[in-house]
Amino acid sequence: MSGADFEGKSSGVEARLMVALSGGHLAVDFASGSVPALIPFLTDRFQLGYALAALLLLASTISSSLVQPLFGLWSDRRGAVWLIPGGAIVAALGVGGAAVSPVYPLVVVLVFVGGLGVAAFHPEGAKFAAYASGAKRASGMSYFNIGGNTGYALGAFVTGQLVVWLGLVGGLLAMAPVVVASVALARLLPRLSGVAERQGVSRSQQGEDRRGAMTLLGIVIALRSVAWFALLAFVPLWIVSRGHTTADGGRVLFLMLLAGAVGTLILGPVADRVGLRRTLVVTQAAVGPLVLVFVFVGGLPGLLALMLIGVCVVGTFGVTMVLSQLYLPRHVGMASGLSVGLAMGVGGLAAVVLGAVADTVDLQTALVISAAAPAIGVGFCVRLPAPSQGSHSLAAASRRVAVPID
């Protein structure tokens, strides 16, 4: 095994490959995280209501999340390692173009295109990260996800600041590092292709797919995502409605996302020690009450509650991804696309509905409604079954850094 291990020889995490994949994840999600930061400025430019503002997040979510299972299926059946750098460049061009588009309909189209780049990267990137993770799957996937979570937080903050300083052209300039990262990822292709060719895992070794368990997990993620996407869309607008500036709203959003990135490193090892499902139940149960603290208490306690929401939601992205891969061991790419994409896409759809509620009633009511969804999800969360014994062969395969090609 080449490169130093993050967790030592027993874990088998291939450091260089994981750093590269995590860096690519950072770049792609930097572009994705720029979209919520652009929403308040685009709202001002085009005089949008809450529903049309949320539509921008929906366009990004449909393309970056709901389409992911299709890319995952492609990855499982044929392999498409070129989607890793290709997704990064498409994400950069779409989001950067949306920032400087002169008309609102074109903004929606370009945000959608940028989301397709995000969708293309994730299943293939997550598949390679899974097989480079070693025995401690939750910890290993945390290394991959810390890149994405950090990138999303930085995208929201850096892009917001550049737009404050330079106008919306700053959103275009913010995508330059993503373009650079795509070039670096393209240079990594020979090594990734070599990993895929060296070893393979037969379907008989991978265990049986458990679609019922994956359905339950998808419901859990979707209900949690209702609150999460509502916060992504409306936290900056809520802060502005409380008498603060748009820049203040962007900074608060950044703190929520940054806390989530830190939570990724904390909760991955915790899940390896205390269990994936136990970690998920506790964090799921905390989200709803924390949303209410943010809305009704506000101030420093509200900010701390918002940051804890980031820890609970973003910090368990790796946990839900590992569970999905263990529930669908024969379709690792599809599992990644479902856990990150299709299930979370429901949250983007809900954000538009909640935006309509905010327009007709008020924003506070919409945020309170969003808090109920993760509370309902706790009931589904406690019903999640343990991964079958056969699924653990996937973890063994990951120690060999084997990648299924079928």
Would you say residue 203 has pLDDT above 80?
no
User: Integer distance in angstroms from the first to the last C-alpha of the chain?
Assistant: 24
pLDDT of 62 reads 80
Q: pTM for the full model?
A: 0.73
267 and 316 in contact (C-beta within 8 Å)? yes
Task: Give mean pLDDT, residues 156-167.
Answer: 90
- CA dihedral defined by 332, 334, 338, 342, rounded to 10 degrees? 160
- Assign 390 a pLDDT band (cuts: 50, 70, 90): very low
pLDDT of 2 reads 38
Q: What percent of the chain has pLDDT over 90?
A: 37
For residue range 208-266, what is the model confidence (pLDDT) as tens digits?
888 899 999 999 998 998 999 889 888 988 998 888 887 788 889 889 988 987 888 88
- Assign 13 a pLDDT band (cuts: 50, 70, 90): low
Closest CA to 312 of 294, 296, 298, 328: 294
146 and 265 in contact (C-beta within 8 Å)? yes
Would you say residue 106 has pLDDT above 80?
yes
pLDDT, greater one: 384 or 125: 384
For residue range 62-73, what is the model confidence (pLDDT) as tens digits?
888 778 888 888
233 and 355 in contact (C-beta within 8 Å)? yes
Question: How far, in Å, CA of 20 to CA of 31, rounded?
Answer: 17
- CA distances in angstroms from 75 to 6, 98, 121, 342, listed in the order given: 26, 28, 10, 16
pLDDT of 104 reads 93
20 and 81 in contact (C-beta within 8 Å)? no
For residue range 76-100, what is the model confidence (pLDDT) as tens digits?
777 778 899 999 999 999 999 999 9
The 10 Å CB-count burial string (b at 16+, else e) for 350-378 is: bbbbbbebbbeeebeebbbbbbebbbbbb
Closest CA to 92 of 185, 181, 186, 178: 178
For residue range 307-341, what is the model confidence (pLDDT) as tens digits?
999 999 988 888 898 898 889 887 877 887 788 77
